[in-house]
Structure 1
Amino acid sequence: MESIIIFLILFAMVVYFLPIIVAFIRKNNNCLAIFILNLFLGWTFVGWVIALVWACTNTQINR
């Protein structure tokens, strides 16, 4: 039973911090700002979605 609870807590943390994970993997220039937004407003669905969209946007200019 304890292992299920630990798994669920870890899974919830990964889902909660998914925007910063995506931003880090995509090498987004705004990782710190996305992390702060996600940390303080990620508990609201709107804040989490904004952070995820921001993490998925392309910040590099193609020339």
Structure 2
Amino acid sequence: MSSDTGSFGVVGLLVVVLAYFIPTLVAFGRGVPNKGSVLVINLFLGWSVVGWVVALAMAARSR
């Protein structure tokens, strides 16, 4: 295994983690009042598509 393969794995993992936490990043970026709830739902239920979509909807809701 070359070092290029290892760095690609690290970058790939970083991209996946960032994609997983998009709802949380949106919530904190927009300053929504329920950002803690978005974080908890995203953290514990984000692995299911429904939980991720619910967290994103909460983050995108108007203030």
TM-score relative to the length of structure 1: 0.91
Distance in structure 2 (CA, Å) of the matches to 1:44 and 1:13: 14
Gaps of 5+ in 1: none
Paired position in structure 1 for 2:10: 6
Matched, 1:48 2:59: no
Q: Which has the higher helix share?
A: 2
Query: Partner letter of residue 38 of structure 1?
Result: N
Aligned residue pairs, count? 59
Gaps of 5+ in 2: none
| Same amino acid, percent of matched pairs | 39
Query: Partner letter of residue 11 of structure 1?
Result: V
Pairwise CA RMSD: 0.5
Query: Partner letter of residue 22 of structure 2?
Result: L
